[in-house]
Amino acid sequence: MNLTSRTKLRRRPDRGSYDSASIHAILDDGFLAHVGFNMNGQPFVIPTLYGRDPNESKLYLHGSAASRMLRELESGIPACLTVTLVDGIVLARSAFHHSMNYRSVVAFGTARKIEDPAHKAKALQTISEHLMRGRWAEVRGPNDAELKATSVLEFSLEEASAKIRTGPPVDDEKDYDLSVWAGVLPIFTVTGQPVPDPRMNNGHQAPEYISAAFKKRC
């Protein structure tokens, strides 16, 4: 990864890393990004799904061809893409040393619109498989009109940093004697039982890959 003044962590550089493996691991564990861009000097932050091809150092974004965000991004303006996974609340003995355990990636770059329909369909498959492996093969794939109505962008991960905090609280030495419960409250993202569409035939069981989709995140 390139490292410039905008990527280099100023606060808590001990929590930072810039290697691709750390960055990719966080991106592969998440599925929701917050994308920042400017319109007329006003910053916008919009949540969006993404997909990462394991063989490529880029992310795919998609949405309606009418999306304001995608139309702005595809013009090549500077963007920032952030993914944050919260792992726990760090409960210290003092208010001051409370913290979060988390893994986050902040990536800077520009997006490029994918025009070729075959490449577009492949990128949509990557987003789908990133979110839920096995789904793409089962559903009706996009037809020409749907492909046309969908914008797909690639966002190159040339400049990115990861920030990670793990472990127990770190209190001031004199506070360790206080009779305050200290530790970590773990936070997980989990899935419930799949809820069938009321318009589906009764008795159609949800395939195994649906419940398996998020197991790695529990």
Q: How far is it, in rounded angstroms, from Cα 7 to Cα 5?
A: 6
Return the residue of 2, 115, 192, 203 that touches a copy of itself, per CB under 8 A: 192
Q: Is 118 in the site for a copy of itself (CB under 8 A)?
A: no
Residues 88-117 that bind a copy of itself (CB under 8 A): 88-89, 91-96, 98, 100, 102, 104, 106, 108
To which residue do tokens 């997006």 refer? 111
Sheet (strand 79-91) strand order: 16-17, 159-165, 99-109, 79-91, 32-39, 42-49
Q: Which stretch binds a copy of itself (CB under 8 A): 21-29, 30-38, 51-59, 112-120?
A: 30-38
Q: Is 215 in the site for a copy of itself (CB under 8 A)?
A: no
Residues of 70-84 as b/e, b for ≥16 C-beta within 10 angstroms? bebbbeeeebbbebb
Return the residue of 16, 24, 53, 82 that touches a copy of itself, per CB under 8 A: 82
Q: Which stretch binds a copy of itself (CB under 8 A): 18-26, 52-60, 111-119, 197-205?
A: 197-205
The answer to whether the beta carbons of residues 63 and 150 sit under 8 Å apart is yes
Return the residue of 26, 79, 111, 114 that touches a copy of itself, per CB under 8 A: 79
